[in-house]
Amino acid sequence: MNAETRSEIFGRLLKKIPEPTTELNYSTPFELLVAVTLSAQATDKSVNKVTDELFPLANTPETIYELGEDVVRDTIRTIGLFNSKAKHIVQACKILIDKYDSKVPETRKELEALPGVGRKTANVVLNTAFGHPTIAVDTHIYRVANRTAIASGKTVLEVEKKLVKFIPDEYRVPAHHLMILHGRYTCKARSPLCPECILLDLCEYEEKNL
């Protein structure tokens, strides 16, 4: 796939989704960090239900740390891995309070040093909260990148590096959510909606569902 085709793809996606953003509910970088940490192996919908209960109780590093691991765990127990997530969130709060004046750091290295924060979570926070041109390759982005041939790769990291390299500069920031939303609602895993896809003529997927 050449640069012109990639540019056309993202141009079409941005016309269809003019304000692409996460479907997680948040109002501050810290709330986003907590929500994304909770989203591992969980749906955005299930995370939003939990944070709708948690954030009115506590939505800063200080207040969540004061709440304590037991209360956090009980509040989030409807989502997967709630034990480890509660532990990591409270530990991260302590670090943010002690080291960062309760502010979320704005570098990948500092974010990844927080408990429960991996490369994908760090990339989401950098892109969504701070507007950095990062790509957090989840299952939707991995699928869309490989199916369309925007950036083919056998590993998540390989796809991420190719996307950062190949996506035109003007689409670097919105590309993350454009691809997620396209994968979630059109380029679905089992039954992609190829006939109504705005990228049909540009996509290189050989097994189009027509």
> Which active-site residues does the annotation give?
120, 138
Q: Is 143 within 8 Å of 125 (Cβ atoms)?
A: no
With a CB cutoff of 8 Å and minimum separation 6, the contacts of 138 are 120, 180
For residue 38, give both structure tokens.
Answer: 């909770």
Give the annotated binding-site residues for [4Fe-4S] cluster: 187, 194, 197, 203
Q: How far apart are CA 130 and CA 112, in angstroms?
A: 16
**Binding-site residues from annotation:** 187, 194, 197, 203
Distance CA(119)–CA(116), nearest Å, equals 10
User: How far apart, in Å, are the Cα atoms of 124 and each of 145, 190, 208?
Assistant: 17, 25, 30
- Distance, CA of 174 to CA of 133 (rounded, Å): 8
Q: What is the rounded distance in angstroms from the CA atom of residue 89 to the CA atom of residue 19?
A: 29
